[in-house]
Amino acid sequence: MVRLPEPPTTVGSSIPAHTPHAVSVMFPTWQDNIYYEEGNPIVTSKMECGYPRFFIHPFIQQLSARLTAKFGKPGDSSMLFPSHKAAESCRAFMNRYYQSPTGTVRIAEFEIVSPESERVPIHIALFPQDAFPIAKQFWQHSGDIICSRMAEYCLRVLDAKDEGGKEGSPSDDLYRPKLTMGGRSRSHYSSKQQISKSANSGDEKVAAEQATYLEERYGRNLPVKFANNAKIALRRRIAGILTDVPIEDQAVNSSSSVEEQRKLTGERGIKGLSEEDVYLYPCGMSAIYHAHQCAMLIGDKTLKSVCFGFPYTDTLKILQKWGAGCHFYGLGEEESIDELEQMLESGEKILSLFCELPSNPLLKSPNIKRIRRLADQYGFLVVVDETIGNFCNVDVVSWADVVASSLTKVFSGDSNVMGGSMILNPKSKYYHQLKEALKTDYEDLLWSEEAVFLERNSRTFKERSKVINQNTEALCDFLVTHEKVHKVFYPKYTCRENYDAVKHKTEEAGYGGLFSVLLKDEKSAAQFYDHLKCAKGPSLGTNFTLASPYTILAHYTELDWAAKYGVCRYLVRVSVGLEDREKLLSMFKDALNAITE
C-alpha cells in the first residue's frame, strides 16, 4: 500500500531521509535529545530540519535573512508570517512579553511577484535580536506560520531576479514594501538556528518522488487551480462526506452540494455536518489557537478557560498566555471532573474547556459525556483535540462544540507536510455565533502546495489507520506483559471505559497508533531507545514507526512539574507505523533484550 523509506541513522538527518520538507529529524541516541535541548552544537550543527514550529526550516531562515537585509536595520532580527493579521498578532504578543527601551517592533509588508504574475504576500516582523525568543514563542504557540514550501518558492523567484534578466526572471515590481511602526517589547533568552545544506544522496527513488511530484503533475508554477480543488476534497474528507476524488477532476467542485451533504449522516455519524463546517489551517496548533480566539470573540474574555488533562505542551501555553488565563486539571480523571464541578457549583464561570481524546503522551481519555453535561448546565464551550484518536476510531464531534486536529499526523502519514483543521458541530448551541466569529477571525493560510500534498497523502488515510491500529494493539499486548516493561500507556488499558464510550462500532475502529512505555529507570529507557531500529525523533502519526523520549523533548525545562502529573522524565513515546507486524515485534524484542541489569 505504502512504500516505507528506510530510517536514517545519522544525527540531524531529516525523517524521512532525503526529504527537503520533512517534519521530523533523527536523534539516534537518548543523549542526542539532551544535547538538542541544551543547544549543544554536537547535535544542532548537524540538523537538516526539525519539527517546523520548533525548528525554523533552513529555507525560511534563508528567506528571512535576505528580507531582513533588505528591510531591516543593523542589529535587527525577524520573523516571517503569511498575513498582516498574523504579523500584527505577533507584534501584540511581543508588546506584552518583550519590554526593552531599545528598538521597536516593525512590520514590513510586500509581495513577491513571479514571471507568471503569481503574487505571494510576505509579512515580516522586524525587532531587536534579543527579542527573537519572544517572537519564536508566538511562532511556536500560535502556529500561524509560513511553510518551507512557500519559502522555497519565494527563494526560487528571488534567485531568478538576482540572475538579472534571464528567462524566467520576475518583473521589476518584485518588492512592494510598506513599513508600519509598532510598540516596544522584551526578551529573556536567545537562540540561533543552523542553516544546513540539502541532502542529495541515499534512496534516490524516494527523494525523486518528493522532489518532482508537483512538477510532474502540475508544472513548475504554483498549482493554484488544483489547490482549490484539493482544499474542497480535504474539507469533505475531514467532514466524513467524501473519501476520494481526484483533484484534477473539475467535478470535485460540484459532486455534491452543501445542502445535499447536510442531509447525509457521513462517516462521522452526525447529520448536518458539511464541508462548510470545516476550516483549514497551517498546522494543528493554529486550529487550537484560533478555537480559543473564537471562544473569546463570542464569550466573556475576562473568564478563564480550563485545560483538562495533561495536554500537548502548546495547548496549555495558549490558554495561559492569551486571554484571562486558565484552570489546569492536569490529571484529567474523574476526580478532576469532581473538582471542576465543585468550582462551577461555587459560582465561578469559565469561558471554555480544552481537552484531548486521548491525550498526548499519557493516552488518557476524559469522560467527555460528563463534561458535555457540565458544559450544557454551566454554559461553556467544549473544544476537543482528536489528533491522537482520529475520526476513523472515535466520534468526538457529537460531544464537542469545536473539534481540532493536526493533519500533519496520521491523516497525512508521509511526514512531509503540515496542516490543521477545525470543525464546528452544527448541532452546538454556539454554532451560529462561531460561524459569525470565524467571518472575522478566519484566514485561509494553507499554502497551495501544502494542500496538494495533504490531499494526495490522505487518500489512503482510512486504510492506513486500520493497519496501524492492528499493529499497535499487537505490539502493546506484547509489551504490557513483558518483565522489563514497567507500564504501557495505551487507550486499551488507560481510561478504556471513556475511550470505548466514543469508539466507533466498526471493524476499522481501534485504539489508535500511539502509546507510551515506561521502563524501570532512565538507564533502561536509554538502552531501550538507543537499540530501537526505527526512526527516532519528534512528531507522530507517520507511516513508519517513530519513537522519542517525549518528556525530554517537550518538557526539558520543567521535568519536575511534568512528573507531578505522571509524565515521567524517562517515558518513551512510540508512534506505530505500517511495517510488517512480525518485524515490529522483533524490533521491540531486540531493544528490550539490550537492557542490562
Q: What is the pLDDT of residues 532-589, one digit of tens each?
A: 999 999 999 999 999 999 999 999 999 999 999 999 999 999 999 999 999 999 999 9
Residue 178 pLDDT exceeds 50: no
Q: Is the pLDDT assigned to residue 179 strictly greater than 60?
A: no
Cβ(559)–Cβ(569) under 8 Å? Answer: yes
Q: What is the pLDDT of residue 200?
A: 40
pLDDT score for 191: 35
Lowest mean pLDDT among 69-78, 81-90, 266-275: 266-275
Residue 143 near residue 53, CB atoms below 8 Å: yes
What confidence tens digit (pLDDT) does each residue in 438-486 have? 999 999 999 999 999 999 999 999 999 999 999 999 999 999 999 999 9
Cell output for 65: 535573512
pLDDT band at 3 (very low <50, low <70, confident <90, very high): confident
For residue 113, what pLDDT is reported? 85
User: Average pLDDT of 167-195?
Assistant: 34
The answer on pLDDT for 53 being more than 90 is yes
Domains of the chain: 58-146 (3.30.70), 230-456 (3.40.640.10), 460-594 (3.90.1150.10)
pLDDT in tens, 56-66: 999 999 999 99
Q: What 3-state DSSP class applies to 380? A: coil
* pLDDT number for residue 72: 93
Cα 266–269–272 angle (5° rounding)? 65
pLDDT for 287: 98
- Can you tell me the distance from the alpha carbon of 234 to that of 240, in angstroms, rounded to the nearest whole number? 10
Tell me, what's the pLDDT at 218?
55
From residue 187, how far is each of 93, 505, 577, 595 by CA, in Å?
Answer: 12, 51, 40, 43
Confidence of residue 371 (pLDDT cuts 50, 70, 90): very high
Question: pTM to 2 decimals?
Answer: 0.91
CA-nearest of 254, 361, 353 to 305 is 353
How far is the C-alpha of 227 from the C-alpha of 215, rounded, in Å? 14
User: In terms of DSSP bridges, do strands 402-406 and 352-356 run parallel, antiparallel, or are they unpaired?
Assistant: unpaired
Contact yes or no for 243/384 (Cβ under 8 A): no
Least confident window among 14-18, 97-101, 133-137: 97-101
- Taking the C-alpha atoms of residue 383 and residue 370, their distance in angstroms, rounded to an integer, is 14
Helices (H), 431-511: 431-441, 448-458, 461-479, 496-500
- Measure the CA dihedral 174/179/180/181, to 10°: 150
Q: Residue 524, class by beta-carbon neighbours within 10 Å (0-12 exposed, 13-18 middle, 19+ buried)?
A: buried
C-alpha cell, 79: 520573523
Q: Which residue type, as a one-letter code, is found at position 69?
A: A
DSSP string, 10-75: STT-EESTT-TT-SEE---SHHHHHHHHTT-HHHHTT-S---TTTS--HHHHHHHHHHHHHH--TT
Whether 255 shows a pLDDT value over 70: the answer reads no
- Given a cut of 90, whether residue 81 has pLDDT beyond it is yes
Round the average pLDDT of the chain to a whole number and report it: 88
Where residue 197 falls among pLDDT bands split at 50, 70, 90?
very low
Amino acid at 585: L
Q: What is the pLDDT of residues 309-368, one digit of tens each?
A: 999 999 999 999 999 999 999 999 999 999 999 999 999 999 999 999 999 999 999 999
Q: Using 50, 70 and 90 to split pLDDT, how confident is the model at 436? A: very high
Residue 80 has pLDDT above 60, yes or no: yes
pLDDT of residue 188: 25
Write down the pLDDT at residue 244: 56
Closest CA to 169 of 178, 182, 160, 179: 160
Name, of 69-78, 110-119, 164-173, 403-412, the range with top average pLDDT: 403-412
Per the CB < 8 A criterion, the answer to whether 5 and 398 are in contact is no
Q: What is the pLDDT at residue 160?
A: 85
The per-residue pLDDT for 474 is 98
Q: What is the pLDDT of residue 176?
A: 36
**CA–CA distances in Å: residue 486 to residues 10, 514, 516, 521, 525:** 30, 17, 11, 9, 11
Answer whether 413's CB lies under 8 Å from 457's CB.
yes
User: What cell does 92 get?
Assistant: 501584540
Question: How confident is the model at residue 267, as a pLDDT?
Answer: 72
Kindly tell me the burial class for residue 272, based on how many C-beta atoms sit within 10 Å of its own C-beta (0-12, 13-18, 19 or more). middle
